[in-house]
Structure 1
């Protein structure tokens, strides 16, 4: 899926090299597309911006040596649910899908794909976050790697994700975008501590 996390391209390209698996990149122009464009500029990449996220990722995958014929795009989706829904329209036979997404959204993405592919028995869904965020003055893939998020942006993202996973928000008792997810007690406790420490950071639907 398209996002501001360019490390996803490296992971997808490596998966292609190891497994020779074709790649489908899902992502149109949405509320976070500007963050992808900013990431491209920060890294000095010579790529046109203002385009569907999947087009930017496709161009990067080609630079990593993935053949053009092995990269397809879905460029109409504007959110996580549509990533899954529109991908399901393209994939009509059961197969194994490796989902690579912004790590802050990985759990919700998996849940959305479970919902969208529930009518295709035999489908196996695997998730691979492209990195474990390194947190310092900024948030990145490591201490000597380019910034992915500011600390405030990262807090906003993770607080918004835990909120969305609640049964009465995006779950069955709320907007019913995803099936019920059991969020571990220690995660909820950490969420409550962060909400208290960063009351302005919560992103709510």
Structure 2
């Protein structure tokens, strides 16, 4: 069991990465590959709600996804969307990307022949901020909205996710906001003092498995 003070720190990071963008219609929805099938489910929900007329699923595999999605993240996401009634003709698959930068860059190339002025990035809840910062760096001329299933940290864990793993992911995502901006991979994002302190306490408590070395 986590001490209550660390629960508060987890919620601080969780809330920081949720950008709470105002929903609006875009030219395409882009489901960023991960181990979370909820990304594909939410992309299908947004399509049926009329948020975008075209869906792109992007992602190959990572060590954390190959067992769950052996044929690749984007391929499995497409199958989930088809089962949920998204027409095959509105789905594009980008099966090569192995990180968020490649998700954005390879999808941009895939859509180069289309008039794309706005996109909705559909991600895990705690990936929104980094995905947004990355896309703004790599695709600066496009209006970008982020979307995730609206769930709390506790609700997210009702699936198959391990609590220690998700906390470690939150810590790693927070570190990457600053580190990737410094390396030119993403635009800078403000990190409030409270987020910095929560990050430091969780890292000191041992949730460092997903941190950059």
1:8: which partner in 2? 39
2:187: which partner in 1? 179
2:170 aligned with 1:158: yes
2:159 aligned with 1:146: yes
2:80: which partner in 1? 60
1:22: which partner in 2? 54
**What displacement does 1:191 show?**
0.7
2:5: which partner in 1? none
Query: SS of 1:170's equivalent?
Result: helix
Dislocated runs of 4+, deviation >4 Å: none
Query: SS of 1:51's equivalent?
Result: coil
**What displacement does 1:161 show?**
0.8
Quote the Cα distance in structure 2 between the aligned partners of 1:152 and 1:70.
37
Whether the aligned pair in 1 keeps the contact of 2:164 and 2:207 (CA below 8 Å) is no
**What displacement does 1:32 show?**
2.8
**What displacement does 1:25 show?**
0.5
Whether the aligned pair in 2 keeps the contact of 1:8 and 1:101 (CA below 8 Å) is yes
Q: Name which structure has the greater RCO, CA cutoff 8 Å, separation 6+.
A: 2
Taking only aligned residues, the RMSD between alpha carbons, in angstroms, comes to: 1.9
Segments of structure 1 that go 5 or more residues without pairing to the other structure are 38-48
**What displacement does 1:9 show?**
2.1
Matches within 5 A, 1:2-151: 2-19=33-50, 21-34=53-66, 37=68, 49-92=69-112, 93-118=115-140, 121=141, 123-135=142-154, 140-141=155-156, 145-147=158-160, 149-151=161-163
Quote the Cα distance in structure 2 between the aligned partners of 1:97 and 1:62.
21
Under a length normalisation based on structure 2, what TM-score does the superposition of the two structures give?
0.77
Distance 1:200 1:26, change over 3 A: closer
Whether the aligned pair in 1 keeps the contact of 2:100 and 2:131 (CA below 8 Å) is yes
User: What count of residue pairs does the alignment treat as equivalent?
Assistant: 179
